[in-house]
Amino acid sequence: MKKSIFMVLSVLVIAAMLASCAPAATPAPTQAPTKAPEKQLVFAAVVKSIAFNWFKRLEEGVLQFGKDYGVKAFMEGPSQVDSAQQVAIIENLIAQGVDAICNVPYGVPENEPAQKKAMDAGIIVIGHEAATAHEGTLHYDVEAFDNCAYGEEMMKELAKRTGEEGKYIQFVGSLTNASHNEWQDCAKAYAEKNYPKMQFIAKYESKEDQEVAYNTMKDVLRTHPDIKGVLGSAAGDVVGAGRAIEEAGLQDKIAVVGTSITSYAGELLKTGAVDLAMAWDPATAGYACMVVAYKLIKGEQITDGMDLGVPGYEKIILRKGVNGVPVIYGSAWIKIDASNMDKYPF
């Protein structure tokens, strides 16, 4: 009996020893914690009109930014320039909950309430051609260059072609377009200071419409047949004026200088009806606008002298606009004439 008990105990001890030497049971696999995917950022550019070649080129920059930064970026705008329609687009983007809006307002004051509403909704709002915006209606405005210096340069180019004398007129897209008016006001002030024989006649509103500029120029030729110079602001201004001048056979007597691009003014640059198109690449401006919004969303500060990583915006100048909005200036103006227009095929 004692032997039997001893054997049973021995078996139990051996079993216990074997159990203690057995490898630990493999823990049930648990799913590795996964990081929630970051929400894709959505950036929208709102422009004066999607029908303009200028803004089609800007869209190229916006789309390229989207590819480079992994952001859903797109452009919207009215089929014709209209601040009310721009405001309606911004209201719709606010409802969609986009992360950033880059707005190129037709009229700065008309767009400000919608821009502020977007900011209040937590959306980053960057302006372009809106340096006169009031503080609190944009996070930043992005300008391709110092507007006053651009206007003065435009006047220097015109004066060079008129012998620094004679009557001249100006076109702006609208009388509330901040950039256009700053260019032309500075051009006029520069002429008054440096070219006393140049005579300012009037500033005309083209409503960003070539036909308006064309018909206005025909009226000017009737009223002032001795006109010697034209300055344009909207991309179609010099085109409309150049057409009227060419039809009158006066392309060798009247100098036409102003903002435009090859796709608008190319043929008239070849004939000499437009002497010089000054501009900046809308694609780089659109791209730079998006980069500023991206940096703000990522918590980065915008500082004077910083490099946005965009041609013409490698060393930005940061200033406060006349109405308080912070303005970023690049150094991105270009000059296009018949000799170099192939370099700027947009």
Give the pLDDT confidence of 287-298 residue by residue, as tens digits: 999 999 999 999
The pTM is what?
0.73
What is the predicted pLDDT for the residue at 6?
A: 44
Write the single-letter amino acid at 102: C
Closest residue by Cα to residue 139 from 287, 293, 288: 293
Confidence of residue 42 (pLDDT cuts 50, 70, 90): very high
Q: What is the mean pLDDT of residues 83-108?
A: 97
Confidence of residue 37 (pLDDT cuts 50, 70, 90): low
The length of the chain in residues reads: 346
Report the DSSP beta bridge partners of residue 44. Answer: 74, 101
pLDDT tens for 117-167 read 999 999 999 999 999 999 999 999 999 999 899 999 999 999 999 999 999
Q: What is the mean pLDDT of residues 84-113?
A: 97
pLDDT tens for 307-324 read 999 999 999 999 999 999
What is the predicted pLDDT for the residue at 22?
A: 43
Average pLDDT, the chain: 91
Q: Please calculate the CA angle 276-128-99 and round it to the nearest 5 degrees.
A: 145
What is the predicted pLDDT for the residue at 27?
A: 42
Confidence of residue 36 (pLDDT cuts 50, 70, 90): low
Q: Which two tokens stand for residue 197?
A: 């024989």
